[in-house]
Amino acid sequence: MRSILLVAFASGAPLALAAGTEVRIGMQLEPPNLDPTGGAAAAIDEVVYANVFEGLTRFGPDGSVLPGLASEWSAEQGGRYYVFALRDGVTFHDGAEFSAEDVVFSLDRARADDSTNAQKALFANIERIDIIDRTTVEIHLAEPSGDLPFNLAWGDAIMLDEASAADAATKPIGTGPFRFERWVQGDRVELVRFDDYWGEPAALAKVTFKFISEPTAAFSAMMAGDLDAFPVFPAPENLAQFEADPRFTVSVGSTEGETILAMNNAKPPLDDVRVRRAIAKAIDRQDIIDGAMFGYGTPIGTHFAPHNPAYVDLVEQSAHDPEGAKALLEEAGVTDLTLSLKLPPPAYARRGGEIIAAQLRQVGIRTEIENLEWAQWLEQVFKGRDFDLTIVSHTEPMDLNIYARPDYYFQYDDADFQALMASFATETDADERQRILAEAQHKLADDQVNAYLFQLAKTGVTVTGLQGLWENAPTQANDMTGVGWSE
Amino acid sequence: MLVWLAGRLVSLVATLLAASAVVFLVIEVVPGDPAAYMLGMNASEQTVAALRTELGLDRSGIARYLDWIGGWLQGDFGTSYTYRTPIVDMVAERITVSLPLALLALSLAVALAFPAALFAASRRGGGADAGVMGLTQLGIAVPNFWFAMLLVLLFSIKLRWLPSGGFPGWEAGIGAALTALLLPAIALALPQASILTRVMRSSLIDALGEDYLRTARAKGLSSGAALWGHALRNAMIPVLTIIGLQFSFLLAGAIIIENVFYLPGLGRLVFQAISSRDLVVVESVVMLLVAAVVLVTFLVDVAYAWVDPRLRTR
Amino acid sequence: MSLRSLLPGLVLVCLVLGAALLSFAWTPYDVTKLVIADRLQTPSMTHWLGTDHFGRDILSMLMVGARTSLAVALVAVGIGVGLGVPLGLTAAARHGGALDELIMRTNDLVFAFPALVIAILITAVFGPSALNAIIAIGIFNVPVFARLTRGAALSLWTREFILAARVAGKGAVRISLEHVLPNLSNLLIVQATIQFSLGILAEAGLSYVGLGAQPPIPSWGRMLAESQTLVTLAPHVALFPGLAIVASVLGLNLLGDALRDWLDPRLRHAR
């Protein structure tokens, strides 16, 4: 535990940074509100996570779980309950003191019956929270689990003060190194340095998040000098131009986004594994990565992130093989197949979809493309399961257990897999966890639940000289605590 | 006159009510649940249902319609589902961008069209006239979003004279704000100026041919004086109608341009609201735009009738 | 003025129409084949207008895209004429009555609605497609033709030959169809060309925001949208679809002007 703390401190140490400086960060989507516990939009976390709000634990740039408002913790009784030691002298932006009561309030609020927290499952296992003293809490679980510190690092688990929680959507009051200044809806959010922060003060005096949804506009804004950074630059085709320009630096990292061609496993003929395998074989991953993402992205063979140490490389199992695909289709007795391909807005889906449609046509499968807005996609595909094929990127870390939910939109219902995931949830031995993960990956690849395309890359553009932005996205956030201008 | 006016007012209110019913119905039919959109993929059915109750989405259509209309009469346009702020505040903020943009575009269009039309009308039938008409034909044929693309390429990226978009806010100073609106206004103004030039020219030529003008010239007024003094004034009437219509079109029709230049205006608000199924916002803003058009038409009608009593009978 | 606009107008329209019709039989390349390796090539002997980001031949895309633009605009005009003209005739025949009032009020109502916003809404309700684009554009053509027809028909109804027909006992419907309509045809043809060119612009706009014909059907507006981020890399991808739109709209407008001069001499003096 101590070694982790040391590493954390070392990696968080600021460089020789100019004080009193500002930064303008570009984002594609504007958050609908600023309360990460009340909605699912990643954009909310991208603005407030680690900047305005903090939780008991937090994610580091490499995905590791680091201390947040809790300076240390320990698991007791094999993970049956945890003791968290809270930091002292922490204040909210409105001056209120942070203490154990706020922990109880925040977690109870999240797991309440009428809570609108989008990740309620994270808190489902919590039975009760005991206040030992002002800076110590005990969290008791219904079932022993090793996941609690990880779960508490999510943006949905950040700490709020009861007095200011009701207005969190429009006036977020947290404990972070930046406090909320203003939100010009449709345009930008402004944060300023919080001088009474409990930890190392931020190097930046002001951070402005500007919302630019059009990829062209994003490009123009960077080129024209209207922005200092665009951490998730939406148009990979322009990256070469930024790389060639000494004014800018391009960083290519990884995300937790497994981009998949999801197939409706409950709808014939997609319920036949041979048909699904045929579709997977018809796909040339590299063509999609090149055509849709201009070369940025890593091929995956199963639903797991390649940068994760437990990853098993199963790409070859479903390598591009049109002849093999045709043979499988014949074997399954499928001729003259037409499938609906519903695509949400992102480029990986729209462009990737067109490429996949052409590849499927080569093996005799016709597709009807329908471009949908997110609201329609959620309604038709996600809730209504009215689709054959769709392309989407699942960006939550360690989200294998979506395959253990038979009512999840692609409707994979396999008792063996469900049992596997159940055993993983209660397993605390590291080697055994690794083994289970490997088995799960093999199963998902063998059953070809979906066609696994590539891991989404995090391509960010910054003005040369701006340091400290995360290269990878273990969680969707723009942690500005270690960001500043170099001399 | 008063009787006529009263009749027109009743008609106005009836139109607005009918429009509100249509707007509400059309938007209610739109599938897609704002609560599901806000909570995303991982939320449970329970959570979504809780949010729907919180937003008041589970009440009947009639109840919500009456609430909405009632609210309008009190100046309350409802509360946005996604932003959780009063719509009247959101609209007020966005209008500070859309209204100046529309006015600026219109001013540019008029500034371009007037001299062009006068020039063409006075040299009617000649090569210069044909030249102007040819240019206007081109102006009408160019899609304004394509024109915007080319403008940004030249003035923002290559020359770096003007920002590529965004709006710094009026607090940043009139100069900075107007600079941000300049390229979008130019993109919007091009087709409008072309249409306006043609209408003005046509109207001027008509007016110039009128009998009373021949009389004026016979009395000794020079051609130039005839043009300025009489023809212009009479030619203005149909032109003013067009300008009025163009203004209401610009408020709503700038959606695409607002997106291209990422301006926080009404058009982009509606666009985003449709995407996120924030139906209350869509209803209220569409209603606002409809009301604007209906009002402008009404005012123009009144102006005409006041000037020309013959128009007071339908 | 008439011949000056007729010739270039005719040339442009024939070019676009010709390309669209030819595309049914032949295009230089198959627009459904994606060759990523060949992407973003500038115009050359192998690809006369270059290739797009998927390696598709731009000339072929423009030819097939012409089909979409012309078809959508044409059918939308058809809707406008098919619904608007009967409505206008009816309103004129029943001038002053409740039906006339109803039709005119509804007309004004539709005019008051912001067209683009409603078009976006319609496609949000029914999904994006060429068909829904046609409906969305067509709806706003109806009041244009209704108002035009009614206005012109009203002035015809006072003419002597109509009065003669009424005295002879002919009903309103027969009169409308046999006497009024034929005399309106010139006006309608001219307006139809105007609405046609507006329809092409509208389809381009809707496709640009993703609400028109869906992939893999090529569409000029969508080509422009997709080319936006590439405009600094490969400007030709943004240039040619835009020029295609300008050419079609310009050609139709010029043709319309020439038609108006030719068909309706009364209007000539106003030019």
Closest CA to A30 of A187, A206, A156, A191: A187
Nearest-CA distance A450 → chain C (Å): 23
Q: Which amino acid is at A224?
A: A
Taking residues B266-279, report their average pLDDT.
Answer: 81
Give the pLDDT of residue A7: 36
Sign of the dihedral through C-alpha B143, B144, B145, B151: positive
- Any idea how long chain B is? 314
CB contact under 8 A, C210 and A287: no
Backbone angles phi, psi at A250, to 5 degrees: -105, 130
The answer to whether the CB atoms of A361 and C32 lie below 8 A apart is: yes
**Residue B221 token pair:** 């007024």
| Chain C from 235 to 264: CB within 8 A of any B CB | 235, 238, 242, 245-247, 249-250, 253-254
Closest Cβ opposite residue C124 in set B30, B143, B256: B30
Q: What is the mean pLDDT of chain A?
A: 88
**% residues pLDDT > 90 (chain A):** 58
pLDDT single digits (tens) A282-294: 999 999 999 999 9
Q: Of the candidates C5, C109, C238, which has its C-beta nearest B149's C-beta?
A: C238
**Could you tell me which CATH class the domain B94-308 is placed in?**
mainly alpha
Using DSSP's 3-state secondary structure scheme, residue A394 falls into: strand
Interface of B with A in 270-289 (CB under 8 A): 272, 274-277
Map out the domains of chain B as residue ranges: 2-73, 94-308
- Whose tokens are 């990740």? That residue is A119
What pLDDT is stored for residue A383 in this prediction? 83
As a whole number of angstroms, the distance between CA A362 and CA A365 comes to: 7
Give how far Cα B293 sits from Cα of A461, B85, B105, Å. 44, 26, 17
- Please classify residue B45 by burial: count the beta carbons closer than 10 Å to its beta carbon, then call 0-12 exposed, 13-18 middle and 19+ buried: exposed
Q: Is B90 exposed, middle or buried (0-12, 13-18, 19+ CB in 10 A)?
A: buried
Contact C109 B19 (CB under 8 A): yes
Contact status, residue C69 vs residue C19, Cβ threshold 8 Å: no
In this prediction, residue A395 carries a pLDDT of 86
pTM of the model: 0.82
Against chain A, the chains showing at least 3 CB pairs within 8 Å are: B, C
Q: How would you classify the pairing of strands A337-343 and A365-371?
A: parallel
Query: Among candidates A321, A349, A339, which has minimal Cα distance to A259?
Result: A349
Is the C-alpha dihedral spanning B224, B230, B235, B237 positive or negative? Answer: positive
In B47-164 the beta strands, taken as DSSP E runs, fall at: none
Share above pLDDT 90 across residues of chain B, in percent, rounded to a whole number:
12
Closest CB to A290: pick one of C36, C124, C233. Answer: C36
The residue of C12, C13, C121, C220 whose CB has the most chain B CBs within 10 angstroms, and thus the best one to mutate to test that interface, is: C121
d(CA A354, CA A297): 18
C159: amino acid identity, one letter: R
Residues of chain A with C-beta less than 8 angstroms from the C-beta of C124: 373, 376
Q: Which DSSP string corresponds to A317-371? A: GG---HHHHHHHHHHTT--SEEEEEEE-SSHHHHHHHHHHHHHHHHTTEEEEEEE
Res C263: pLDDT:
75
- Asked if A41's CB is within 8 angstroms of B36's CB, the reply is no
Given B83, B164, B269, which is nearest A226 (Cβ)?
B164
What are the start-end ranges of the H helices in A157-208?
162-165
Please indicate if any CB of chain A lies within 8 Å of the CB of B158. no
Q: What is the ipTM of this complex?
A: 0.84
The pLDDT of residue B54 is above 70: yes
- Give chain B positions within 8 Å (CB) of A166: none
Q: Mark B263-299 as b/e (b = at least 16 C-beta within 10 Å).
A: bbbbbbbbbbbbbbbbbbbbbbbbbbbbbbbbebbbe
C172 or B97, higher pLDDT:
B97
Convert the pLDDT of each residue in B213-258 to its tens digit: 666 667 766 666 655 666 666 667 777 777 877 887 787 778 888 8
Give the bridge partners for A49, in sequence order.
A53
Q: Does C108 touch chain B (CB under 8 A)?
A: yes
| Residue A187, pLDDT above cutoff 90 | no
A to C CB pairs, distance under 8 Å? 59
> pLDDT for A396-435, tens place per residue?
888 888 899 888 899 999 999 999 998 887 777 888 889 9
A146: CB partners within 8 A, 6+ apart: A75, A79, A427, A428, A433
Asked whether residue B32 carries a pLDDT value surpassing 70, the answer given is no
- DSSP codes, B213-281: HHHHHHTT--HHHHIIIIIHHHHHHHHHHHHHHHHHHHHHHTHHHHHHTT--SHHHHHHHHHHTT-HHH
Residues 6+ apart with CB under 8 A from B173: none
